[in-house]
Every structure is written in C-alpha cells, then in structure tokens.
C-alpha cells in the first residue's frame, strides 16, 4: 500500500543509505550551505535587531519583542533558503530524481522517453516558471499564518504542501511522461489529498532551520521513491493482464486442437463428453466413432480381419446322405 506521507522519511533513509547520491550533490550542497550560512548571519545580525526594535517602539514588551523577533528570523531564514532552492537548483533536482529512478532499476522508463529534447525543455521551462511563481506567491501570502502557534504552522505546511509536491513531480510529468502542463495540473488537483499529505510533511521538514539544507534534497528522493513505487505497481498490473490474456489464448488454442483431433465438429465432442452420455447407455454413434483417424483405422482393421476368415460352406444333400449311411462292415 502506497502512503504518500511516509515518503519524506523514506527519502531521508534512502539518501543516507546510498553514498552515490550524496557524492553527486557535493557541488549543490556546498552552494546551499554557503547560501544558508549567509542567510543565517544576515538574519541574526541585521533582521533580528531591526524587528525587535520595531516591536519595542510599537509598545511591545521587550522580552516578548525579542522572542517574537527570533521566531520571525528563523522563519525568514527558512523562506530565503527555500527561495534559493526554488530558483537556483532545479537542474540538480531533476538529475537527483532521475538517479533515484535508475537506482530502483527503472532506467528503461527514462530511455523509453528520450528524444524531442527541445520540446521537453520548453515545456519544463514554461511549467517550471509558472509553478515557481505560484510557489512564491503562496509562500508570501501564507507567511503570516506562522504568527499563530502550532495551528498556524500546520496550516502553512498544508497549504504549501500541494504546490510543493506538484513542483517536484512536474519533472516526471513533463520530461518523462511527456504530458502537457494542463494535464499535469489536472492530475495533481485530482490527487490533491495525496499531494497534500506528502507535501505537508515535506514543507514541515524544510521549515527546520539548518536541517532544511538536507531535507530539501531528501524530499526529492522521497518523491522519486513514490513515483518509482507507482511505476512498479502499474508494471505488475500490466504483467498480470498480459499473463491472463496469454492463458486465455492458450486455452483457446487447446480447444481448437481438441476440435481438430476429435473431428466431426463440436457436436461429436459434446455427445461424447456430456454427463448424460456417460451416466446412461446409448447406442454408439458410428459417424462419431469414425470421425477420428484412430477409430477409423481400428474399424478398417476389423473389417479386413473379417474378410480374411474362411467361410464355412453348407453341406449338399448328397453329403448329408453319405454322412448318415452306416459304415461298411468288413
């Protein structure tokens, strides 16, 4: 059973358990770490003081102002890192997604959809820009929800979860399945409960400062694992259908062979194989018996044997009289 909300955690374990994935991301991980450190330094060195002083001037108690400012800075750092992740790293994301599919033994899925790279690139760029714009707008509009303790963070992760999942899976839809953006969007909306359950957990992990530098990659791995399970499930279903069709064809061939061997059409076989004919005696059907080559040979052999047997001649009256006369006395 496929549970989308479990794949972000599966992505963490799979990523840490496959060193080849880690080594392929050394360059983007270094860029992300540098960007994350820069955002953290900027946030605590400048944004924290600015926001705290602004709240204090607004007659907010100093302790509460600094506490709220720290929460704001952490959230702002997370948003800055996510924006960098959305704008700078899509190429590395797609490569990581494809590498996971290859590790799962689905290289044939990637090779089957090669070709027409220009059209794929244009579709990916147009769709990616559209999704990126939507993600940025939703992030900005839902950011105030974080002012509400606990419930606000849950709502924030849930609302942004669907579009995050749509953005990660769009590479699979546009460049592997070769479907247009409109169809991908319809399918994503039709499966909004699955997309939201995966995305809510993924967004929650990416909201954790510093650790989100890792989770933004493991979420891609988790989504690729989700897609891989769906592909394998569909392949198993198609294999079962093919096996059932093959068995049906074999049964039809066997029935045709029986009809050809039995001869006399289906009526002779039904007459010999029905329960009524086996439970009660009925006179043999000569035409049915002679229908098969084996029975016909047996009949011809019996007929020849009868012809070869000597025929006893009837005694003539003279012979009868001689046999009735007494033997000659000496």
Q: DSSP for 176-207?
A: IS---HHHHHHHHHHTHHHHHHHHHHHHHHHT
Tokens of 65: 């102002």
Q: Does residue 165 have a pLDDT over 90?
A: yes
Instruction: Specify the pTM.
Output: 0.63
Q: pLDDT exceeding 70 applies to what percent of the chain?
A: 73
Q: What are the CA-CA distances from residue 32 to residues 25, 36, 205, 212, 234 (Å)?
A: 10, 6, 16, 10, 36
Q: What does the alpha-carbon distance between residue 302 and residue 140 come to, in Å, rounded to a whole number?
A: 100
> What does the pLDDT read at residue 166?
92
Backbone angles phi, psi at 292, to 5 degrees: -85, 150
Q: How far apart are CA 285 and CA 269, in angstroms?
A: 12
Q: Is the pLDDT of residue 16 over 80?
A: yes
More confident residue, 130 or 187: 187
Identify the top-confidence range among 140-144, 159-163, 290-294.
159-163
Residue 168 CB burial class (10 angstroms; 0-12, 13-18, ≥19) = buried
pLDDT digits (tens, 9 = 90+) for 133-151: 888 888 889 988 888 888 9
Judged against a pLDDT cut of 50, whether residue 90 lies above it is answered with yes
* pLDDT digit string, tens, across residues 96-111: 999 999 999 998 888 8
Contact between residue 85 and residue 217 where contact means Cβ atoms under 8 Å apart: no
Most confident region among 75-79, 212-216, 219-223 by mean pLDDT: 219-223
Instruction: Give me the pLDDT at residue 290, please.
Output: 44
Mean of pLDDT over the chain: 78
Mean pLDDT across the stretch 212-216? 85
Q: What is the pLDDT of residues 222-266, one digit of tens each?
A: 999 999 999 999 999 999 999 999 999 888 888 888 888 875 544
Render pLDDT for 43-77 as a digit per residue (tens, 0 to 9). Answer: 888 888 888 888 888 888 888 889 889 988 888 88
* C-alpha 189 chain-centroid distance: 19
8 A C-beta contact, residue 218 and residue 211? no
Calculate the alpha carbon distances from 290 to 103, 170, 269, 271 in Å.
Answer: 64, 69, 13, 14
Q: How far is CA 161 from CA 67, 84, 158, 232, in A?
A: 27, 18, 5, 25
The pLDDT value given to residue 47: 86
Q: Are 181 and 123 in contact (CB under 8 A)?
A: yes
Both tokens assigned to 31: 């860029």
Yes or no: say if 126 and 163 are a contact pair by the CB < 8 Å rule: no
Pick the closest to residue 172 from 159, 187, 151 (CA basis): 187
């Amino acid at each position: 059973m496929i549970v989308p909300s479990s794949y972000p955690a599966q992505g963490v374990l799979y990523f840490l358990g496959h060193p080849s994935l880690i080594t392929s991301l050394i360059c983007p991980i270094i860029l992300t770490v540098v960007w994350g450190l820069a955002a953290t330094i900027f946030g605590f060195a400048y944004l924290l003081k600015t926001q705290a002083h602004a709240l204090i001037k607004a007659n907010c108690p100093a302790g509460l102002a600094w506490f709220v400012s720290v929460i704001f800075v952490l959230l702002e750092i997370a948003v800055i890192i996510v924006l960098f992740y959305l704008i700078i790293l899509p190429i590395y994301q797609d490569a990581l997604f494809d590498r996971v599919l290859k590790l799962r033994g689905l290289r044939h899925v990637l090779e089957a959809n090669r070709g027409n790279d220009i059209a794929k690139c244009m579709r990916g760029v147009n769709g990616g820009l559209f999704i990126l714009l939507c993600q940025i707008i939703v992030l900005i509009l839902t950011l105030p929800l974080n002012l509400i303790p606990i419930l606000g963070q849950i709502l924030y992760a849930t609302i942004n979860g669907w579009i995050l999942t749509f953005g990660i899976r769009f590479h699979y839809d546009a460049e592997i399945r070769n479907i247009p953006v409109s169809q991908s969007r319809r399918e994503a909306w039709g499966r909004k409960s699955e997309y939201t359950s995966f995305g809510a957990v993924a967004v929650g992990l990416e909201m954790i400062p510093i650790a989100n530098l890792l989770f933004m990659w493991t979420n891609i791995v988790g989504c690729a694992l989700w897609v891989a399970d769906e592909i394998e499930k569909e392949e198993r279903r198609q294999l079962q259908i093919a096996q059932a069709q093959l068995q049906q064809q074999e049964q039809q061939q066997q029935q045709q062979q029986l009809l050809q061997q039995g001869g006399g059409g289906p009526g002779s076989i039904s007459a010999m194989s029905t329960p009524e004919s086996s439970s009660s005696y009925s006179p043999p059907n000569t035409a049915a018996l002679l229908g098969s080559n084996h029975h016909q040979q047996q009949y011809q052999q019996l007929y020849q044997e009868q012809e070869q047997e000597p025929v006893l001649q009837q005694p003539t009256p003279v012979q009868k009289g001689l046999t009735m006369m007494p033997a000659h006395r000496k």
